[in-house]
Amino acid sequence: MAILTKTAANRRQQTVDRAYRKRPFRLSLYLFLLAAFCLLPIASHAERIKDIASFEGMRDNQLVGFGLVAGLAGVGDTGNQTIDVMVNMLKRMGATVPASDIKTKDVAAVMITASLPPFPKPGMKLDALVSAIGDAKSLQGGTLLLAPLKGPDGKVYALAQGAVSVGGFIGGGGGTSVQKNHATAGRVPSGVTIENEPPFTLGSGNEIRLFLQRPDFSTATEVARKINEALGDETIAAALDPTTVKIKILEQYQGNLVKLISLVESLEVATDMPALVVINERTGTVTIGENVRISPVAIAHGNLTIEIKTEYHVSQPPPHAPSSAQTVVVPAKTVNVKEQNASLMLMSGATLGEVVRGLNALGVTPRDLVSILQALKAAGALQAEMEII
C-alpha cells in the first residue's frame, strides 16, 4: 500500500513539472497575440470621395416644357386657355377645328420637368414629372402628348411623351368624395428621350477641380492629402478653400482623364462635419449630430394645462310662482389650471449619448425639445449650429 501511494505521488509531481515547463510557452503565446491585436488597424468611419464631392462640370441640367394630357374621362380643364392650346396643336398637325367644337373635360394643360444627367447621349431615356396648371381634378389614366423640353438657353434637348402614372386617386359622387395623395401631379416613366447633347467641358487645361458638397476646411485638407498619398506626390492636389480641391493632371493621365477620376473617386476619406442640430417645426422632428455638445446648464421643464369647461344648469321657477315665470337654462363655466411640478436638472453632455439620456430623463416630447434646444442656444450652452427648416 505504501508503494502504491508513493507511485501516485510521483505521478502527480511529474504532472506539475510538465505544467510549469509549459507555462512560459503559454505566457509568451498570450503576449504575442495581445501585441498582434494591438497592432491591428483601428476601423474608422470614412466616406468615398465620390459620395461627398463632385468634379467640376459634372452637374445636372434642368429641362422644362409645356404640354397636354389627354384621356382624363371628364376631370380635365374647363378654361378657354386649354382650348386655344388645342386649336394651335391641331393646326400644326394639319387639322382645322373651330374652338366652339372643342370640349376640354378630357384634356388638361400641364408643365413638364425633367433633370438631364451629366454626359447625356441622344437616345437615352429619362423620367418626366407632369403637374396640372389648370383646374383639372385628376391626371389619372391620362397620356402626355408629344412635347419639347427646353433648357435655360431656350434650346430643345429632349422630347416627352407617354402614359402618366399618378400615385393617388380621387373619386366619389352624390356629395361624397374620397381622395388619396395628390392626383394632379404624376410621373411619366422613361417618357423623355434625349435628342441633343448640351456642351460639356471636364476640367480646364492641365488641372481639374473637385467641389465638396458640404464646405469644410478639415475635409478639404484631408481629401487633398489622400489624393497626394495615392498618386505619390505631395504637390498634385491642394485645397484652395473649404469647397474646392485643385488636382493637377499628370502627363500619364492627359489622354485618359477617366482613369484619373475613377482613381480619385474610389479613395476613402474620414470626414469632419460640424456640430449641427436640424429642427423641423412643422413636423416636430429634431435631428442631433454626433458632435453636438452641451455645456453645464440647469433646465426646468414643466407642463401647464388650462381646461375650460362649460356646464348648463336648468333654473325652474319655484312652486306657486306667477304665470309669467319661465324655465331658464343658465350656463356655468369652470376653469381648471393644472401645472406639473417642474424639476430643475443639471445636465451637461460630453457626447451625444449623454445629451440624449439627459433630455429623455426630462420626459420631453419632440415639440418641447425644440423649445429647449432654442433656449439652450440662446443661453450659449448648446455648442452646435442650429438649422430650422
What are the pLDDT digits (tens) for 314-366?
Answer: 667 777 666 666 766 666 555 554 555 555 555 555 555 666 666 666 666 77
pLDDT one-digit tens code per residue, 283-302: 777 788 777 877 777 766 66
Same domain for 250 and 298, yes or no, is: no
Same domain for 291 and 227, yes or no, is: no
Give me the pLDDT at residue 36, please: 43
- Residue 30's pLDDT band (boundaries 50, 70, 90)? very low
Residues 6+ apart with CB under 8 A from 127: 114, 187, 188, 189, 190, 191, 192
pLDDT one-digit tens code per residue, 149-170: 999 899 999 999 999 988 766 6
Same domain for 213 and 150, yes or no, is: no
The mean pLDDT value for 222-231 works out to 92
Q: Whose CA is closest to 198, among 267, 122, 138? A: 122
Find cell 453645464 and name the residue: 296
Q: How far apart are CA 163 and CA 185, in angstroms?
A: 13
Q: Report the Cα–Cα distance between both ends of the chain, in Å, rounded.
A: 92
The answer as to whether 55 is a domain residue is no
3-class secondary-structure state, position 49: helix
Specify which of 2-6, 226-230, 313-317 reaches the highest per-range mean pLDDT.
Answer: 226-230
The mean pLDDT value for 373-385 works out to 81
Q: How far apart are CA 122 and CA 138, in angstroms?
A: 32
Q: How far apart are CA 261 and CA 237, in angstroms?
A: 13
pTM listed for this prediction: 0.61
Give me the pLDDT at residue 358, please: 66
Same domain for 262 and 364, yes or no, is: no
Give me the pLDDT at residue 293, please: 78
Give me the pLDDT at residue 97, please: 79
Same domain for 289 and 355, yes or no, is: yes
Give me the pLDDT at residue 32, please: 45
Same domain for 225 and 143, yes or no, is: no
Same domain for 364 and 289, yes or no, is: yes
Please state, rounded to an integer, the average pLDDT across all residues of the chain. 76
Same domain for 67 and 161, yes or no, is: yes
Assess whether pLDDT exceeds 50 at residue 41.
no
The answer as to whether 6 is a domain residue is no
Overall domain count for the chain: 3
Same domain for 253 and 336, yes or no, is: no
Domain final position from 144, 159, 194: 194
The answer as to whether 112 is a domain residue is yes
The answer as to whether 128 is a domain residue is yes
Same domain for 246 and 282, yes or no, is: no
Same domain for 163 and 96, yes or no, is: yes
The answer as to whether 96 is a domain residue is yes
The answer as to whether 375 is a domain residue is yes
Give the domain range for residue 238: 207-269
The answer as to whether 75 is a domain residue is yes
Same domain for 284 and 235, yes or no, is: no
The answer as to whether 10 is a domain residue is no
Q: Is the dihedral of CA 372, 376, 378, 384 positive or negative?
A: negative
Q: Whose CA is closest to 253, among 210, 207, 211? A: 207
59 versus 42: the higher-pLDDT residue is 59
- Contact 373/347 with Cβ under 8 angstroms? no
